[in-house]
Amino acid sequence: MAIDDSARTEILTAIDAALAGKWDDAHAVAQRHEGVPVADWLHAVLQRFHAQRTEAMPADRQPARPTSTYSTGVAPLSADAKTSG
């Protein structure tokens, strides 16, 4: 996919933003240019760094994750079922 000059400039600016710690700004640009190889690369790098930062946080400071992310289709065990053996 060809990339025009304005998209190239925006993606380069997003890389600078990521290096400056402005993750959200860089992420928005990467998503806006989905399908452009360098933007897809940037998006992958940002996702990787986000995962590493989140894992390094103490559990009480980690962002909440939606329960649907972990949905298995199986109802959770009740408190009684967990303690019976």
CA dist list (Å): 72 to 65, 76, 83:
15, 9, 22
Arithmetic mean of pLDDT, 63-71: 51
pLDDT above 70: percentage of residues in the chain:
58
Q: How many domains would you assign to the chain?
A: 1
| Structure tokens, 47 | 């996702």
Q: Answer whether residue 29 is part of any domain.
A: yes
Of 1 and 33, which is predicted with more confidence? 33
Nearest-angstrom CA–CA distance, 14 and 12: 5
Q: Answer whether residue 64 is part of any domain.
A: no
In angstroms, the first-to-last Cα distance of the chain is 59
Arithmetic mean of pLDDT, 14-36: 92
Q: Answer whether residue 77 is part of any domain.
A: no
Q: Answer whether residue 79 is part of any domain.
A: no
Asked if residue 29 has pLDDT above 90, the reply is: yes
> What is the domain extent for residue 16?
1-59
| Structure tokens, 64 | 């909440």
pLDDT digits over 49-59, tens only? 777 665 655 66
